[in-house]
Amino acid sequence: MHTICVAQAPLRANNISNRDGVVDERAPSIHFLPEYKGPVMSTLDSGEKPTILVVDDTPDNLTLVSNLLKKDYRVRVAINGEKALKIAFSETPPDLILLDVMMPVMDGYEVCQQLRNSPLTAHIPIIFLTAKSEVEDERKGLSLGASDYITKPISPPILEARVKTHLTAKAYADFLTDKTAYLESEVARRTREVSAIQDVTIQAMASLAETRDSDTGNHIRRTQFYVKALTSKLKNHPNYSVYLTDSMIEMIFKSAPLHDIGKVGIPDRILLKPGRFEPAEFEIMKTHTTLGRDAIQAAENSLGLQVDFLSIAKEIAYGHQEKWDGSGYPEGLKGESIPISARLMAVADVYDALISRRVYKDSMPHEKAISIIEEGKGSHFDPDMVDAFLSIQDEIKSIAARYADSDADMDVKRKQLELLVPTLH
């Protein structure tokens, strides 16, 4: 390492020609106080030397500081502020910057300010290395975001100690930043996994219910996407904008497949009956709303905590057969006393029941189904929701076509039902 000895008079680095071959006696000189013996070794176990950028418009000052630090660090130099910024904003920025203040065109204060204003360089420690020793100068430099301020004449032990201290602090900060980013990515990954498990579990439960019904599994998907389209249309409506946040729309979408989960508790002789129900049979059929809510509540109780999407699922399962005029079931709720999620599903479920193929019936044309939905405005359905549904009917029709029941789907459903009800042969 370059050892610098000190005479009584300071070492005048400015008595040597600068890069243009002109002696600049006004440039501040770098000179060192009593002789320093032995380097301070870096304590950073990074596997490679940290990079120090030294910025000074006097070449000899660059040489002196570079010689002092080069054993322990990779030293890069810049002879003006513009070159310093170019290096700092490169793909391999420095770990620390030693910055002179008095430089032509762009002084150190301006360089510091630009570095601090950019998120790419805001984290890089900056140490001012300058002859400007007034308190106001120090205050200005530190207020601009410098990590430290060292005045000339420079003491080698102080310079090396400060450099090591700030590099160590940066290494810890970088570690914490990386650790935080890693933990955030892990949380995001686990959240995605939990969400995927929830989705699969919901689909499995809903599909299990559908195997005992005359609906195919496509009913689940169609109604789920009808509801998604309807909520997206209504999210800016003044009556629903507060409730239908993006997160709520996602929860309703996730919960929608469980709307008929209670049908697993309805006897096959009633659930699979192709004709109209007798009054007593209909009373039993109506209990699927309560059975569905209670089944979801039981699952929530077993978890020992309230789960937001399960709360929405309970609303939908229990309330999707309610009607706007109060003539629905199970509680005969009326108007806005019916949960919004249940009102949404009421429209989607009835429309799909009308246009769907069944083992015992053909599908109804879209236009006729839309007409029935429109007729139910203000009696069966929330009027605002009907208006929104009609306004997106082309999208609704597209969803129905995308998840339409094929002949193969109907054959599978017919065989399932034949195992349960032999009379369908």
Is residue 7 included in any domain, yes or no?
A: no
Domain containing residue 324: 212-424
* 336 and 268 both lie in a single domain: yes
* 418 and 289 both lie in a single domain: yes
What is the CATH number for 348?
Answer: 1.10.3210.10
* 162 and 282 both lie in a single domain: no
* 53 and 144 both lie in a single domain: yes
pLDDT string in tens for the chain (425-residue length): 333 333 223 333 333 334 333 333 334 444 444 443 333 333 345 468 999 999 999 998 999 999 999 999 999 999 999 999 999 999 999 999 999 999 998 999 999 999 999 999 999 999 999 889 899 989 999 999 999 999 888 889 999 999 999 999 988 888 888 888 888 888 888 888 887 777 777 777 776 666 656 555 688 899 999 999 999 999 999 999 999 999 999 999 999 999 999 988 998 888 878 778 899 999 999 999 999 999 999 988 888 888 888 899 999 999 999 999 999 999 999 999 999 999 999 999 999 999 987 656 677 999 999 999 999 999 999 999 999 999 999 999 999 999 987 677 667 666 766 666 655 44
* 404 and 284 both lie in a single domain: yes
Is residue 192 included in any domain, yes or no?
A: no
End-of-domain residue from the set 158, 180, 202: 180
Is residue 4 included in any domain, yes or no?
A: no
Cis peptide bond N-terminal to 153, omega within 30: yes
Q: How many domains is the chain partitioned into structurally?
A: 2
What is the CATH number for 119?
Answer: 3.40.50.2300
The amino acid that residue 219 corresponds to is H
Do residues 297 and 314 make contact, with C-beta atoms less than 8 angstroms apart? yes
* 218 and 312 both lie in a single domain: yes
* 175 and 221 both lie in a single domain: no
Using CA of residue 331, residue 335, residue 340, residue 345, what is the dihedral sign? positive
* 166 and 246 both lie in a single domain: no
End-of-domain residue from the set 161, 180, 199: 180
Is residue 204 included in any domain, yes or no?
A: no
What local confidence, expressed as pLDDT, does residue 129 receive?
A: 92
Is residue 195 included in any domain, yes or no?
A: no
What local confidence, expressed as pLDDT, does residue 10 receive?
A: 33
What local confidence, expressed as pLDDT, does residue 213 receive?
A: 61
Measured distance CA(220)–CA(210) in Å, rounded:
8
Do residues 101 and 30 make contact, with C-beta atoms less than 8 angstroms apart? no
* 223 and 160 both lie in a single domain: no
User: What does the DSSP 8-state code read for residue 28?
Assistant: P
The amino acid that residue 166 corresponds to is H
End-of-domain residue from the set 156, 180, 204: 180
* 35 and 108 both lie in a single domain: yes
DSSP line for 277-293: PPHHHHHHHHTHHHHHH
User: What burial class does residue 288 get, using C-beta atoms within 10 Å of its C-beta: 0-12 exposed, 13-18 middle, 19+ buried?
Assistant: buried
Is residue 198 included in any domain, yes or no?
A: no
Measured distance CA(384)–CA(106) in Å, rounded:
63
Is residue 256 included in any domain, yes or no?
A: yes
Task: State pTM to two decimals.
Answer: 0.57
* 231 and 376 both lie in a single domain: yes
Distances (CA, A) of 284 to 122, 267, 330: 68, 9, 11
* 150 and 227 both lie in a single domain: no
Is residue 5 included in any domain, yes or no?
A: no
User: What does the DSSP 8-state code read for residue 42?
Assistant: -
